[in-house]
Structures are given as C-alpha cells and as structure tokens.
C-alpha cells in the first residue's frame, strides 16, 4: 500500500510537547484528524496541521487519492538540534537554557 509523506524540520517546539498533539491524530481518518488539530489548544496542533495538509496534498497529486479516503498511518516527532543559551545567575554564575527543536514526519495512505 503506497503512502505519501510530508516532513517539517527544525520546528521551534519541544518534542515532548509536540508528541502530545501527535498522539491525538495517530490512526484517524484525515478529516477527523484535521478537526482534532484545529480545536486542540496546543501550539503543536497548529504546526502539525500544516504538515498534515502538506501530506494530504502530496497524496492527492502523487497517488491520485481523494482526501476523504485517506487515513493517518504514521506520525513521528523526532528530536532536532538544541539551541543552547545561558541566563545570568547570582554571584557571577550562569544557568543553561535549552531551546529545543523538533522534526515532524506524517505519512498518509488510502484505506
């Protein structure tokens, strides 16, 4: 069964937070997944929705499959590079600030 993929790299959100939204749509039909992401109050929901729309567009053009026949086969949130910053602390010390990034991968396929 052929699948269509979409990948978004270097998204400025922690992978742990993004996986909360990814768990909402895993295994759903595309129309239900879009509704779930639209109405969840997570920042990752909006970011994953863009990637999901791209995967659906890829499936429509490459596989000639209609949107209503697609399901979300795979949602993966991988760890990206970490931007390391420092915040000044008392007595001349510093405290590390880790600004984490993520890579999103979504695969859709026909039922």
Per-residue pLDDT tens for 6-57?
999 999 999 999 999 999 999 999 999 999 999 999 999 999 999 999 999 9
Percent of the chain with pLDDT over 90: 98
What are the angstrom distances between the C-alpha of 109 and each of 20, 50, 54, 93, 104? Answer: 22, 17, 13, 52, 17
Q: How many domains does the chain have?
A: 1
Angle, alpha carbons 7-75-72 (nearest 5°): 105
Question: Containing H/E element for 106?
Answer: strand 94-110
Short-list 74, 100, 67, 69, CA closest to 22? 74
CATH number at residue 53: 3.90.470.10
Number of H helices, E strands in the chain: 3, 3
Which domain range does residue 100 map to?
Answer: 3-110
Predicted model pTM:
0.92
Q: Contact at 8 Å (CB) between 98 and 59?
A: no
Q: Is residue 111 very low, low, confident or very high in pLDDT (cuts 50, 70, 90)? A: confident
């Amino acid at each position: 069964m052929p699948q269509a993929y979409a990948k978004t790299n270097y998204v400025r959100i922690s992978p742990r937070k993004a996986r909360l939204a990814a768990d909402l749509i895993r295994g759903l039909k595309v129309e239900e997944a879009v509704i779930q992401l639209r109405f969840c109050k997570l920042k990752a929901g909006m970011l994953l929705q863009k990637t999901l729309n791209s995967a659906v567009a890829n499936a429509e053009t490459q596989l000639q499959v209609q949107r209503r026949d697609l399901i979300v086969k795979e949602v993966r949130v991988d760890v990206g590079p970490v931007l390391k910053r420092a915040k000044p602390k008392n007595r001349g010390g510093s405290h590390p600030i880790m600004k984490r990034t993520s890579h999103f991968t979504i695969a859709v396929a026909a039922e």
